[in-house]
């Protein structure tokens, strides 16, 4: 079976965001990039699934992005993915366009099982997996914390408000990974060496046009620094008074 993992590259979560001069994107100066944290769970689950079903299964990692994304793809290869595909584009950020490019590639590779992260921590939309599934006519379970594949049958648990839903479906399917699904492995030295020798297939991303138009990017209004009311429990009554009378939240 062929398994695809869609991975995106995002600014390190410790990045302090500065707005770029176009007022529509961030200032890339000094930003370091990492693999989207949720996508590590997606890669791990794909590798585990491959190990479990054995045979001549292959794991493909696919990303839509510019040349800098190759580094992230190589990390996924080092973790154990078999092949990597870069769908080249210069920073388009519309989920529908990205999902369309990814679906085309997944279709032409013939992958029956697709893993995504539940959300990329840059634009935080959390929809790419569901879009891909709908475009390909695949089943989909999102925000998955437990995944079992038995033949073609899938039993998964997804996190929702106040608990977990147990969901049943079957291949072909897209699964989006939530933290808790597994513990991503570290790349072994051997993996890192092997990844260096692999070639990353590069193709132009097809038709990335979407419908969103960013008009402006800005920083949230910064708050007035708050009041420190004291250093011990004698400040508690005043705190409660303020919450009640000034903030009116309790």
Partner 1 sequence: MADKIFAILEQREGSLKKVSFEVASVAINLANQLELQAEAVVVGNEINNLNDLSKYGISKLTHLKSELLANYSPSAYAEAIASFAKESGAKILIFPNTAMGVDLAPRVAVKLDAGIVMDCMKLEVKDSEVIATRPVYAGKALIDVKLNSDVKIFTIRPNVFKPQPVDSASLQTEIKQVENPDLKTKVTAFKKSEGKLDVAEADIIVSGGRGMKGPENFHLIEELAEALGAAVGASRAVVDAGWRPHREQVGQTGKTVSPSLYIACGISGAIQHLAGMSSSKYIVAINKDKDAPIFSVADYGIAGDVFEILPALTEEIKKLKS
Ligand X SMILES: Nc1ncnc2c1ncn2[C@@H]1O[C@H](COP(=O)(O)O)[C@@H](O)[C@H]1O
Ligand Y SMILES: Cc1cc2nc3c(=O)[nH]c(=O)nc-3n(C[C@H](O)[C@H](O)[C@H](O)COP(=O)(O)OP(=O)(O)OC[C@H]3O[C@@H](n4cnc5c(N)ncnc54)[C@H](O)[C@@H]3O)c2cc1C
According to the binding rule CB under 8 A, does residue 228 interact with partner 1? Answer: yes
The burial of 88, by beta-carbon neighbours within 10 Å (0-12 exposed, 13-18 middle, 19 or more buried), is given as middle
Question: In degrees, to the nearest 5, what angle opens at C-alpha 128 toward C-alphas 95 and 10?
Answer: 75
According to the binding rule CB under 8 A, does residue 230 interact with partner 1? Answer: yes
Distance between CA atoms of residues 159 and 118, nearest Å: 11
Binding mask 146-185 toward ligand Y (x if CB under 6 A, else -) reads ----------------------------------------
Q: List the interface residues with ligand Y, window 32-61 (CB under 6 A).
A: 37
Q: Shortest gap between Cβ of 195 and ligand Y (angstroms)?
A: 22
Q: Shortest gap between Cβ of 67 and ligand Y (angstroms)?
A: 24
Q: Which helix (H) or strand (E) holds 131?
A: helix 128-136
Among residues 88, 104, 169, 185, the one that binds partner 1 under rule CB under 8 A = 169
Burial 224-235 (b: 16+ CB within 10 A, else e): eeeeeeeeeeee
- The residues that touch ligand Y, with contacts defined as CB under 6 A, are 13, 37
Residue numbers at the binding site for ligand X (CB under 6 A): 6-8, 36, 38-39, 42, 62-65, 95, 98, 102, 116-117, 119-120, 123-129
């Amino acid at each position: 079976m062929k398994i695809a993992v869609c991975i995106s590259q995002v600014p390190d979560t410790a990045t302090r965001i500065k707005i770029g001069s176009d007022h529509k994107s961030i200032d890339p100066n000094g930003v370091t990039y990492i693999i989207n944290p949720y996508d590590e769970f997606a890669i791990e689950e794909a590798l585990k699934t491959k190990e479990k079903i054995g045979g001549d299964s292959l794991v493909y990692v696919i990303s839509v992005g510019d040349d800098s994304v190759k580094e992230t793809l190589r990390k996924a290869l080092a973790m154990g993915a078999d092949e990597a595909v870069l769908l080249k584009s210069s920073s388009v950020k519309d989920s529908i366009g990205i999902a369309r490019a990814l679906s085309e590639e997944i279709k032409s590779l013939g992958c029956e099982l697709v893993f995504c992260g539940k959300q990329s921590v840059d634009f935080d939309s959390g929809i790419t997996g569901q879009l891909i599934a709908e475009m390909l006519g695949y089943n989909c379970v999102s925000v998955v914390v437990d995944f079992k594949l038995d033949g073609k049958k899938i039993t998964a648990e997804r996190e929702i408000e106040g608990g977990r839903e147990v969901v049943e479906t079957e291949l072909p399917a897209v699964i989006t990974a939530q933290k808790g699904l597994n513990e991503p492995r570290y790349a072994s030295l051997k993996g890192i060496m092997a990844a260096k020798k692999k070639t990353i297939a590069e193709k132009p991303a097809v038709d990335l046009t979407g419908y969103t138009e960013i008009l402006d990017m800005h920083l949230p209004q910064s708050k007035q620094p708050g009041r420190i009311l004291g250093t011990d429990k004698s400040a508690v009554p005043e705190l409660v008074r303020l919450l009640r009378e000034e903030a009116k939240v309790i």
